[in-house]
Chains A and B, each alone.
Chain A
């Protein structure tokens, strides 16, 4: 079976980066087709009604890093883009107290001072110092990195431009940047704070999606990455999207379609068709062959290079780099349908505490101990949990009075030692539920339904290898110049006309849309459009 329909561009994968990429290509006038393996677009940013009236954000559950330019350039507001402010952050403690951060600076200072007077002004200093680093690296984040192995005049000019930018950064800011990029979140935070709960909360951003503890070198980079976003101009802040992150990817799909892109669901790609080192189209699992001048993979590097292509077509050093590229997913989701809001005993009936993240990380040591078990191939007995009850803000997520609670869980390594996820999934979810029960007595009685998403499920359902939520960990050796491999960090591949635009390319994951957009710029430049 084959078709004669000719496309200018075929994008493999209807996740957020595939949709962003296709939308930009369509906007530039390319006849663009998005191929999505599943019955819905969104990739790992989907919302599913698993119980009548209850909407689960199966995987990804909040927005921060989405590049604001994309919102405007793709006219997303017109298609329903609607981020929802999270007015609070709630960090329960093991002694029954809590840190509750809100929207008012002075109130936050008072709340921190309740835990440590020393930390009250240190928090402003910390926020300022991180903000200065974020501003210094933002241009690097929002542009394609130089190719570090390219010795052509153009390549050297790009490196010189980077050196010039780095040279312009104030020395204190540059030092903080290096400390974050190479050091641990714990060391960085210890320089500012003494309060365990404050450090527990802040250091949790240093472990997301990556197999590091807050005391591991490298967790600083993850912390910095999660500070790069913004919601409505507030650096480092997060928002829900109306209808969950699946609501967001539906907006992207509508925007892409409005710009002329076509979406084909249930279309699993088997391979990219090449001829003389050039991509000419794709072959689907059902035998359909589709031709196009440009093929773009929004999948992760492993599938992009070694599944869709014959690795024997690729340079050996690239294949070696891809083999060394680390996924080792350690995140899970356990999502709950709840009959009512949980109660935190010391705060009585307060429900406002649940309008943002509920961060179960009372100390850095709690996180590090949770990590310890993962180092040796097991999941945490007392896991880190980032809870989010979007239904407290967005009534469309659950029936009136009922709630859905998304729980992002660390650490749950993909590779279990001496067991497997089929055996351990319920036990892992029990650990999560028991931990929640210990902070919120009576929690289990509220549970109407529980959805368990292990790293294996993330791999099987969303397609992300080893369940890594970022298409590969945020480790210095696989960022920027090296994402996903030295020499192949500018969205091209060794196959002419075949490009990569997934989170395994710069700047990385976290629903930024950056890879999709930057890849489109590369493609359009190569096409001289």
Chain B
């Protein structure tokens, strides 16, 4: 029996399609209206709201909470101050990534970590002598992501304090009389916020947000629109762009942080005052240059794409719906040099784009490769350019909001 999100009554009323999907054991919506693209356009042009409640949430409390997380998470939790949040990963001792998530620091000894998969036993067995308690608190919260250029103007009407939130900062706030935490974060790569509320307050929070948001074009969006936005934003998806190392069948299904393009997260790990799981393997990989891949963005050459389809007697399709299947990447000598894991047509970039991993020597932006399509039932290679992720990063994403409604 699938669970219902704390927002379920409102989500169900807003879901015009009667279509449901499921995520982490919860009923969720792929699209609220018959056009997922319309929901995507709202994220990039006005504002959209996404019910992210099913995401697993762990409370980590105790005098040694920082030390514990410092040893488990690859990114240095000590740089995350109370009121801040971090996108982070946790690895195994061979330096392969297990999972990713966002950690919120409430105080010196109180953290909340989100994860796509259940992780309680994995974390608990790593506690050792640390004075820390970990509990799964997923069901306690409703979380609603309000994303898009108008998100600030909408939430500033309800909680003026959001104006002072910097990128990846969070603060307690009130929506009406309801206590919430608002963080400036999300999975769309746009200006956006996430509201965490008590599960019992979820419907009232939804109502307040939509009352404030409708004049600004706020609509609810489902998973498909979210997955479009996240590819443009260069945000990885578990089981699609990488697999969980501790559950992987073989090393071909494992990835290191460097291979996933997350080397930026590892700044300062040479400092051995913070031993963490995977540190030595990652340092060795870095020193010996043994990385097999590097995650990059690919932008398909629109002229070559049009030419190849037109030559086959077809109108070049521009399907925005993400393709989460491997597509092979070749170099100019028709040697396989990588594979794309997420592919879509990006309306905001007007290009077909992919998240792909290529051999490290081909990861320099501007490198030309070929991406393999199936056109007219035949494999056809189309030119593509290696680019840096994220492919879409509007200045508003992390710009100061200065208390002004945008």
Q: Are B34 and A395 in contact (CB under 8 A)?
A: no
Complex Cα gap A355–B33 (Å): 13
User: A442 contacts the other chain (Cβ, under 8 Å)?
Assistant: no
B306-324 CB mask vs A (1 if < 8 Å, else 0) is 1000000001111110000
Given contacts A393-B217, A394-B46, contact A233 B315 (CB under 8 A): yes
Please indicate the chain B residues that have their CB under 8 angstroms from the CB of A71 in the complex.
350
Complex Cα gap A87–B320 (Å): 14
From the candidates B303, B317, B319, name the one contacting A72 in the complex (CB within 8 A).
B303
Complex Cα gap A394–B148 (Å): 12
User: Within B210-255, which residues are at the interface with A (CB < 8 Å)?
Assistant: 215-217
Complex Cα gap A135–B38 (Å): 27
Q: Are A103 and B350 in contact (CB under 8 A)?
A: no
From the candidates A77, A84, A232, A394, name the one contacting B345 in the complex (CB within 8 A).
A232
Complex Cα gap A68–B35 (Å): 23
Please indicate the chain A residues that have their CB under 8 angstroms from the CB of B317 in the complex.
233
User: B390 contacts the other chain (Cβ, under 8 Å)?
Assistant: no
User: A83 contacts the other chain (Cβ, under 8 Å)?
Assistant: yes
From the candidates A69, A233, A352, A395, name the one contacting B316 in the complex (CB within 8 A).
A233
Q: Are B41 and A393 in contact (CB under 8 A)?
A: yes
User: Within A68-125, which residues are at the interface with B (CB < 8 Å)?
Assistant: 68-69, 71-72, 76-77, 81-85, 87, 102-104, 107
Complex Cα gap A102–B37 (Å): 12
User: A400 contacts the other chain (Cβ, under 8 Å)?
Assistant: yes
Chain A nearest CB from B228 CB (Å) reads 12
User: A287 contacts the other chain (Cβ, under 8 Å)?
Assistant: no
User: A271 contacts the other chain (Cβ, under 8 Å)?
Assistant: no
Q: Are A104 and B320 in contact (CB under 8 A)?
A: no
Q: Which residue of B lies closest to A402 (CB)?
A: B215
From the candidates A83, A102, A131, A395, name the one contacting B46 in the complex (CB within 8 A).
A395
Complex Cα gap A471–B75 (Å): 61
User: B83 contacts the other chain (Cβ, under 8 Å)?
Assistant: no
Q: Are A85 and B38 in contact (CB under 8 A)?
A: yes
Given contacts A84-B45, A232-B318, A394-B45, contact A77 B349 (CB under 8 A): yes
Chain B nearest CB from A400 CB (Å) reads 3
User: Within A226-248, which residues are at the interface with B (CB < 8 Å)?
Assistant: 232-235, 242
Chain A nearest CB from B137 CB (Å) reads 35
User: A401 contacts the other chain (Cβ, under 8 Å)?
Assistant: yes
Complex Cα gap A471–B297 (Å): 43
User: B302 contacts the other chain (Cβ, under 8 Å)?
Assistant: yes
Q: Which residue of A lies closest to B219 (CB)?
A: A352
From the candidates B38, B303, B318, name the one contacting A87 in the complex (CB within 8 A).
B38
Complex Cα gap A233–B314 (Å): 11
Please indicate the chain A residues that have their CB under 8 angstroms from the CB of B349 in the complex.
77
Q: Are A77 and B350 in contact (CB under 8 A)?
A: yes
Q: Which residue of B lies closest to A234 (CB)?
A: B318
Please indicate the chain A residues that have their CB under 8 angstroms from the CB of B345 in the complex.
232-233
Q: Are A395 and B38 in contact (CB under 8 A)?
A: no
From the candidates B34, B46, B318, B350, name the one contacting A81 in the complex (CB within 8 A).
B350
Please indicate the chain A residues that have their CB under 8 angstroms from the CB of B315 in the complex.
131, 135, 233, 235
Please indicate the chain A residues that have their CB under 8 angstroms from the CB of B152 in the complex.
none
Please indicate the chain A residues that have their CB under 8 angstroms from the CB of B318 in the complex.
232-234
Q: Which residue of B lies closest to A73 (CB)?
A: B303
From the candidates B37, B45, B302, name the one contacting A103 in the complex (CB within 8 A).
B37
Most buried by A among B216, B315, B320: B315
Please indicate the chain B residues that have their CB under 8 angstroms from the CB of A85 in the complex.
35, 37-38, 41, 347
Given contacts A77-B349, A394-B45, A400-B216, contact A103 B34 (CB under 8 A): yes
Please indicate the chain B residues that have their CB under 8 angstroms from the CB of A87 in the complex.
33, 35, 37-38
Please indicate the chain B residues that have their CB under 8 angstroms from the CB of A83 in the complex.
347
Q: Are A395 and B216 in contact (CB under 8 A)?
A: yes
Chain B nearest CB from A135 CB (Å) reads 7
Q: Which residue of B lies closest to A391 (CB)?
A: B217
User: B294 contacts the other chain (Cβ, under 8 Å)?
Assistant: no
A373-396 CB mask vs B (1 if < 8 Å, else 0) is 000000000000000000011110
Complex Cα gap A346–B200 (Å): 37
B143-155 CB mask vs A (1 if < 8 Å, else 0) is 0000000100000
B interface, over-half SS: loop
B192-217 CB mask vs A (1 if < 8 Å, else 0) is 00000000000000000000000111
Chain A nearest CB from B400 CB (Å) reads 20
User: B348 contacts the other chain (Cβ, under 8 Å)?
Assistant: yes
Complex Cα gap A121–B318 (Å): 24
Q: Are A400 and B215 in contact (CB under 8 A)?
A: yes
Complex Cα gap A281–B302 (Å): 38
Chain A nearest CB from B373 CB (Å) reads 14
Q: Are B316 and A72 in contact (CB under 8 A)?
A: no
Q: Are A104 and B302 in contact (CB under 8 A)?
A: no
Q: Which residue of B lies closest to A401 (CB)?
A: B215
From the candidates A76, A102, A107, A395, name the one contacting B217 in the complex (CB within 8 A).
A395
Q: Are B45 and A82 in contact (CB under 8 A)?
A: yes
Please indicate the chain A residues that have their CB under 8 angstroms from the CB of B351 in the complex.
72, 77
Chain B nearest CB from A108 CB (Å) reads 9
Please indicate the chain A residues that have their CB under 8 angstroms from the CB of B38 in the complex.
85, 87, 103, 355
User: Within B319-367, which residues are at the interface with A (CB < 8 Å)?
Assistant: 319-320, 345, 347-351
Q: Which residue of B lies closest to A400 (CB)?
A: B215
User: Within A52-71, which residues are at the interface with B (CB < 8 Å)?
Assistant: 68-69, 71
Please indicate the chain A residues that have their CB under 8 angstroms from the CB of B216 in the complex.
395, 400
Most buried by B among A76, A232, A401: A232
User: Within A283-313, which residues are at the interface with B (CB < 8 Å)?
Assistant: none
User: Within B38-65, which residues are at the interface with A (CB < 8 Å)?
Assistant: 38, 41, 44-46
Q: Which residue of A lies closest to B150 (CB)?
A: A395
Q: Are B348 and A82 in contact (CB under 8 A)?
A: yes
Complex Cα gap A103–B347 (Å): 15
Given contacts A68-B302, A71-B350, A232-B320, contact A102 B45 (CB under 8 A): no
Complex Cα gap A414–B210 (Å): 47
Q: Are A72 and B302 in contact (CB under 8 A)?
A: yes
Please indicate the chain B residues that have their CB under 8 angstroms from the CB of A232 in the complex.
318, 320, 345, 347, 350
Most buried by A among B34, B303, B320: B34
Chain B nearest CB from A283 CB (Å) reads 40
A338-360 CB mask vs B (1 if < 8 Å, else 0) is 00000000000000100100000
Q: Are A107 and B34 in contact (CB under 8 A)?
A: yes
From the candidates B37, B45, B347, name the one contacting A393 in the complex (CB within 8 A).
B45
Chain A nearest CB from B348 CB (Å) reads 7
Given contacts A77-B350, A83-B347, A85-B347, contact A103 B35 (CB under 8 A): yes
Most buried by A among B41, B46, B317: B41
Complex Cα gap A209–B76 (Å): 64
Q: Which residue of B lies closest to A352 (CB)?
A: B33
Q: Which residue of A lies closest to B314 (CB)?
A: A135
Q: Which residue of A lies closest to B218 (CB)?
A: A395
Complex Cα gap A233–B318 (Å): 5
Please indicate the chain A residues that have their CB under 8 angstroms from the CB of B217 in the complex.
392-395
Please indicate the chain A residues that have their CB under 8 angstroms from the CB of B37 in the complex.
85, 87, 103
Complex Cα gap A76–B351 (Å): 12
Q: Which residue of B lies closest to A131 (CB)?
A: B315
B162-186 CB mask vs A (1 if < 8 Å, else 0) is 0000000000000000000000000
Jot down 12 A-B pairs with beta carbons below 8 A, ordered by A.
Answer: A69-B303, A77-B350, A77-B351, A84-B45, A87-B35, A87-B37, A232-B345, A232-B347, A242-B45, A393-B45, A394-B45, A395-B217
Query: Which 7 residue pairs are nearest across A and B when measured between Cβ atoms?
Result: A233-B318, A400-B215, A103-B35, A104-B34, A401-B215, A87-B38, A395-B217
Binding site for B on A (CB under 8 A): 68-69, 71-72, 76-77, 81-85, 87, 102-104, 107, 131, 135, 232-235, 242, 352, 355, 392-395, 400-401
Known: A233-B316, A395-B150, A395-B217. 20 other contacts (CB 8 A): A68-B306, A68-B350, A72-B350, A77-B348, A77-B349, A84-B41, A87-B37, A87-B38, A102-B35, A103-B34, A103-B38, A104-B34, A233-B319, A242-B45, A355-B38, A392-B217, A394-B217, A395-B215, A400-B216, A401-B215
Binding site for A on B (CB under 8 A): 33-35, 37-38, 41, 44-46, 150, 215-217, 302-303, 306, 315-320, 345, 347-351
